[in-house]
Structure 1
Amino acid sequence: MDARLQALLDKQAITDLVYAYCSASDRHDHARLRALYHPDATDDHGGFFKGLASEFIDRLPEIQAPMEILHHNITNLNIALDGDYAEGEIYVLAFHRIRTDAEPMDLLIGGRYFDRYEKRDGIWKFSAKAVVADWATVNSPSTVQLDHPLVQGSHIGKPGPDDPSYEFFRLFKWGQR
């Protein structure tokens, strides 16, 4: 196969991996998230965690418990390939609505993922991930208004399998892996 075509296929597989990471994170789908990492992969989420990605995922139920809304948006993807190894500088906007003892608060972070990927047995997965915050905005109390009349009747996203996507999509087979 032409090397340029293989590079396109590899970059698309990595792009799909990054998008799957965001979707699994937002839905608190830890089984799906775990499947995106190689068993020896590392994760550096700064003050939250630094170590094996599998151990980070084990701690996610506790970390995500107060997060009523998670919404990751990928903007720029810079991916460099070298055979079955690749690196990515991935720009992300991540919105969090966090339950507190008082009122919920909002956290919007603009940052980047510094990723390393490896293709093993023909499948690209994360071998390392580091999260970098470039800026953050905090609103306390939250400014989210899902009960506003303009939103009334809309499907509302939720963490976990109660999210409307799990019932709507047939091809993704989320929660069935």
Structure 2
Amino acid sequence: MSPSEPTRLAVLLDKQEIQEVVVRYMRGIDRGDLATVAGCYLPGATEDHGGLFVGPATDYLASVADALTHPRAVTTHFTTNVLVELPPEDADTARVESYVLAFARVRRPDGGVGDTLTAARIVDEFAREDGRWGIRHRVLRWEWNHDMDRTEGWAFGLIAGPDSPLRRSAKHPDDVLYADSLAPEAHA
């Protein structure tokens, strides 16, 4: 093994751990799992949520907690184009850019329900503290948005009709993700 191979392996492992934090954050958001989301930040982390919030990450999370955990809240976040840059001069910091495509079902100002599709970009400053990687500072910037009427037809009724047997995702702790067993009888 050449002298650079252990270093290259360490860099790959760091990048993988950081990417898992980014994805775990979005899973926590979609499942309404506040502990998972909070665990992605380092103590004292800050959040700049594109003009909607700027301040301590703990305050940001508190400001959105009710919306995230509401049992009828529907969101799906897709994280793509995750680029992790580790500066050679500091092995315990990273800059991470990721693109996010978010779907949400929301109550419209007129009282109806609508669907919204939003693209954003996130630039994070990560740090390794006490042996774990976490978000030290997050900056979100909005890219574009498309609002639409709610039209959930499950492929025009081909997948599921009015008496649908489909099992839906749920919020923490009721989602299949948090089950002790994934055996079919555990989810009947």
Q: Could you say if the C-alpha distance between residues 19 and 112 of structure 1 is closer, same or farther in structure 2, counting changes exceeding 3 Å?
A: same
2:179 is paired with a residue whose SS is helix
Mark the structure with the bigger radius of gyration: 2
Give the Cα separation in 1 of the matches to 2:172 and 2:37. 12
Aligned match for 2:82, one of 72, 77, 90? 77
Provide the residue aligned with 2:61 in structure 1: 57
2:10 is paired with a residue whose SS is helix
Gaps of 5+ in 2: 183-188
Give the Cα separation in 1 of the matches to 2:117 and 2:151. 12
Instruction: Report the Cα offset of residue 32 of structure 1.
Output: 1.4
Q: TM-score, normalised by structure 1?
A: 0.85
**Residue 23 (structure 1) aligned with residue 27 (structure 2):** yes
Q: Which stretches of structure 1, 4 residues or more, deviate above 4 A after TM superposition?
A: 146-149
Give the Cα separation in 2 of the matches to 1:129 and 1:162. 29
Pairwise mapping of residues 2-151 of structure 1 onto structure 2 (< 5 A)? Answer: 2-64=6-68, 65=70, 68-82=73-87, 83-100=91-108, 102-139=111-148, 141-145=149-153, 148=157, 150-151=159-160
Of all paired residues, the percent bearing the same amino acid is 32
Gaps of 5+ in 1: 171-177
Q: TM-score, normalised by structure 2?
A: 0.81
Aligned match for 1:155, one of 156, 159, 167? 167
1:77 is paired with a residue whose SS is strand
C-alpha contact (below 8 Å) 1:43/1:52 kept by paired residues? yes
C-alpha contact (below 8 Å) 2:71/2:171 kept by paired residues? no
Q: What's the C-alpha RMSD, in Å, of the aligned pairs?
A: 2.2
- What one-letter code is carried by the residue in structure 1 that aligns with 2:81? N
Give the Cα separation in 2 of the matches to 1:134 and 1:110. 5
Provide the residue aligned with 1:173 in structure 2: none
**How many residues get paired?**
169
Instruction: Report the Cα offset of residue 46 of structure 1.
Output: 2.3
